[in-house]
Amino acid sequence: MDFYAMTYCDPYFHQDWRMFAPGTRYNYSIYAVYEVNGQKQHSFPIQEVLEERTVFSGREFLMISLTDASIFVHNRAMNIKGDLYKFTNDKYYQIFEYVNIQYLQKKHKNKIENLRLMLVATDIQTNKRTYTVNE
């Protein structure tokens, strides 16, 4: 029965569930400032992973982790003033921080210290930006 169902449905639904998933409302950028061996470093994790892609070079999971974590922490951030927000130190932020640390440690092949993250969310419709920080 499975064979017949797939033979019938595949031509009509071959795009999988993504065909029905709504697009995101925001574009996200992550800015990281940290130290490696006492030297200050700067990084843009999402952009770097995108630039290194040859169909992501096997880094699809990392890209999904960075973007999904960005969505969760952005939705739970606390407003400080105007377009400035602060990360809520909850399990979503811990995942967000962990994914960024893992990426940066693999990039530098060394321990990351004094990590400061900023998430910039740009509304696609209005082009308004909000800034979320962990300071």
pLDDT of residue 6: 52
Highest mean pLDDT among 21-35, 50-64, 116-130: 116-130
Whether the pLDDT of residue 53 is over 60: the answer is no
pLDDT of residue 55: 46
Lookup result for tokens 């990392």? 62
Q: Say how many C-beta atoms besides its own lie within 10 A of residue 124's C-beta.
A: 11
Look at residues 25, 126, 116, 23 and name the one whose alpha carbon lies nearest to residue 74.
25
Cβ contacts of 37 within 8 Å, gap of 6 or more: 110
Give bridge partners of residue 64 from the DSSP assignment.
Answer: none
pLDDT of residue 70: 87
Cβ contacts of 107 within 8 Å, gap of 6 or more: 43, 48
Q: Say how many C-beta atoms besides its own lie within 10 A of residue 109's C-beta.
A: 7
Q: Residue 35: which H helix or E strand, with range?
A: strand 26-36
**Mean pLDDT in residue range 67-77:** 88
Indicate the pTM of the whole model.
Answer: 0.74
pLDDT of residue 64: 76
Look at residues 92, 100, 94, 27 and name the one whose alpha carbon lies nearest to residue 62.
100
